[in-house]
Chains A and B, each alone.
Chain A
Amino acid sequence: MSGFYEISEKNKGELVVHFNGRMDIESSTSILDELHSMIAQKSPALLAVDLDNVTYFDDFGALVLIELKNAMTTRDSGFKIVGTQGRTQDILSLVNFDAFEACLLVESKRTENIIVRLGDETLAQASNLRFLVSFVGSVFLSFLHVFLHPKSLRVNDTIACMEKTGVNALPIVGLTSFLLGLVIAFMSSLQLQQFGANIYVASLVAIAMVSELGPIMTAIVVAGRSGSAFAAEIGTMKISEEIDALVAMGFNPTLFIVVPRIIASVIVVPMLTLFADLFGVAGGLVVGVFLLDLTANSYISQTLQALTLFEVCWGMLKSVVFALLIVWIGCLRGFQTKGGADAVGNSATSAVVSSIFLIILFDSIFAVVRSFW
Chain B
Amino acid sequence: MEKQKTIRVTNLSARYDEEVILDNISLDVFEGEILVILGGSGCGKSTLLKHMVGLSEPFSGQVYIDNVDITSCNDEDFRSTLRKIGVLFQGSALFGSMTIAENVALPITEYSTLSKDSINNLVRMKLCMVDLAGYENYLPSELSGGMKKRAGLARALALNPKILFLDEPTAGLDPVMSAEVDELIVKLNKSIGTTIVIVTHELDSIFSVAQRVIMLDKHTKGIIAQGDPLYLKEHSQNRLVRQFFNPSAKSE
Residues of A within 8 A of B (CB): 24-25, 28-29, 32-33, 58-60, 62-63, 66-67, 70, 87, 90-91, 93-96, 100, 103-106, 108-109, 239, 338-343
Cα A180 to Cα B126 with chains together (Å): 59
Residue of A nearest to B194 (CB): A58
Q: Is B133 in contact with A103, judged by CB distance below 8 angstroms?
A: yes
- Which one of A63, A96, A109 lies within 8 Å of B121 (CB-CB)? A63
The SS class assigned to the A binding surface is: helix
- Which one of A59, A90, A338, A340 lies within 8 Å of B125 (CB-CB)? A59
Given contacts A59-B160, A63-B118, A63-B121, contact A100 B128 (CB under 8 A): yes
Residue of A nearest to B162 (CB): A58
Task: Please tell me if B42 contacts chain A, counting CB pairs below 8 Å.
Answer: no
* Shortest CB distance A135–B (Å): 22
Give me 18 other A-B pairs in contact (C-beta within 8 A), A32-B114, A340-B96 excluded.
A29-B118, A58-B160, A59-B125, A59-B126, A62-B125, A63-B114, A87-B191, A91-B191, A95-B128, A103-B125, A103-B128, A103-B133, A105-B133, A106-B137, A340-B97, A340-B141, A341-B95, A341-B97
Cα A271 to Cα B178 with chains together (Å): 58
Q: Is A342 in contact with B125, judged by CB distance below 8 angstroms?
A: no
Task: Please tell me if B136 contacts chain A, counting CB pairs below 8 Å.
Answer: yes
* Shortest CB distance A62–B (Å): 7
Q: Is A104 in contact with B187, judged by CB distance below 8 angstroms?
A: no
- Which one of A60, A62, A339 lies within 8 Å of B96 (CB-CB)? A339
Given contacts A63-B122, A340-B139, contact A90 B191 (CB under 8 A): yes
The SS class assigned to the B binding surface is: helix
Cα A87 to Cα B125 with chains together (Å): 18
Q: Which residues of B contact A67 (CB under 8 A)?
A: 117-118, 121
By the criterion of a CB under 8 Å from any partner CB, how many residues of chain B are at the interface?
33
* Shortest CB distance B127–A (Å): 8
Residue of B nearest to A92 (CB): B191
Given contacts A58-B160, A103-B133, A340-B96, contact A29 B125 (CB under 8 A): no
Task: Please tell me if B192 contacts chain A, counting CB pairs below 8 Å.
Answer: yes
Q: Which residues of A contact B117 (CB under 8 A)?
A: 67
- Which one of A96, A105, A339 lies within 8 Å of B129 (CB-CB)? A96
Residue of A nearest to B191 (CB): A90
Q: Is A58 in contact with B192, judged by CB distance below 8 angstroms?
A: yes
Q: Is A103 in contact with B124, judged by CB distance below 8 angstroms?
A: yes
Q: Is B124 in contact with A25, judged by CB distance below 8 angstroms?
A: no
Q: Which residues of A contact B129 (CB under 8 A)?
A: 94-96
Q: Which residues from 184 to 218 on chain B have a C-beta closer than 8 Å to any C-beta of chain A? A: 187-188, 190-192
Q: Is B112 in contact with A25, judged by CB distance below 8 angstroms?
A: yes
Q: Which residues of B contact A32 (CB under 8 A)?
A: 114-115, 118
Q: Which residues of A contact B159 (CB under 8 A)?
A: 25
* Shortest CB distance B108–A (Å): 9
Cα A28 to Cα B187 with chains together (Å): 23
Given contacts A339-B96, A343-B96, contact A59 B122 (CB under 8 A): yes
Q: Which residues of A contact B126 (CB under 8 A)?
A: 59
Q: Which residues of B contact A340 (CB under 8 A)?
A: 95-97, 139-141
* Shortest CB distance B94–A (Å): 8
Q: Which residues of A contact B121 (CB under 8 A)?
A: 63, 66-67, 70
Task: Please tell me if B231 contacts chain A, counting CB pairs below 8 Å.
Answer: no
Q: Which residues of B contact A341 (CB under 8 A)?
A: 95-97
- Which one of A25, A91, A338 lies within 8 Å of B141 (CB-CB)? A338
Cα A117 to Cα B162 with chains together (Å): 46
Q: Which residues of B contact A94 (CB under 8 A)?
A: 129, 187-188, 191-192
Cα A142 to Cα B104 with chains together (Å): 45
Q: Which residues of A contact B136 (CB under 8 A)?
A: 105-106
Cα A340 to Cα B141 with chains together (Å): 6
Task: Please tell me if B120 contacts chain A, counting CB pairs below 8 Å.
Answer: yes
Residue of A nearest to B187 (CB): A94
Given contacts A63-B125, A100-B125, A104-B133, contact A239 B141 (CB under 8 A): yes
Q: Is B139 in contact with A339, judged by CB distance below 8 angstroms?
A: yes
Residue of B nearest to A99 (CB): B128
Cα A105 to Cα B124 with chains together (Å): 7
Task: Please tell me if B16 contacts chain A, counting CB pairs below 8 Å.
Answer: no
Report which residue of A58, A59, A239, A341 has the largest number of chain B beta carbons within 10 angstroms of its beta carbon. A59
* Shortest CB distance A236–B (Å): 12
Q: Is B137 in contact with A108, judged by CB distance below 8 angstroms?
A: yes
Q: Is B160 in contact with A25, judged by CB distance below 8 angstroms?
A: yes
* 22 A-B pairs whose Cβ atoms sit less than 8 Å apart in the complex: A25-B112, A28-B114, A32-B115, A58-B160, A60-B112, A60-B160, A62-B125, A63-B125, A67-B118, A90-B191, A94-B192, A96-B125, A100-B128, A103-B127, A104-B133, A105-B120, A106-B134, A339-B96, A340-B95, A341-B96, A341-B97, A342-B96
Q: Which residues of A contact B118 (CB under 8 A)?
A: 28-29, 32, 63, 67
- Which one of A28, A70, A338, A342 lies within 8 Å of B97 (CB-CB)? A342
Q: Which residues of A contact B160 (CB under 8 A)?
A: 24-25, 58-60
Cα A67 to Cα B127 with chains together (Å): 17
Q: Which residues of B contact A66 (CB under 8 A)?
A: 121, 125
Q: Which residues from 92 to 118 on chain B have a C-beta closer than 8 Å to any C-beta of chain A? A: 95-97, 111-115, 117-118
Query: What 5 pairs between A and B have smallest CB-CB spacing?
Result: A340-B96, A90-B191, A103-B133, A103-B128, A342-B97
* Shortest CB distance B97–A (Å): 4
Q: Which residues of B contact A108 (CB under 8 A)?
A: 137
Residue of B nearest to A90 (CB): B191
* Shortest CB distance A78–B (Å): 20
Cα A109 to Cα B193 with chains together (Å): 37
Q: Which residues of B contact A95 (CB under 8 A)?
A: 125, 128-129
Q: Which residues of B contact A24 (CB under 8 A)?
A: 160
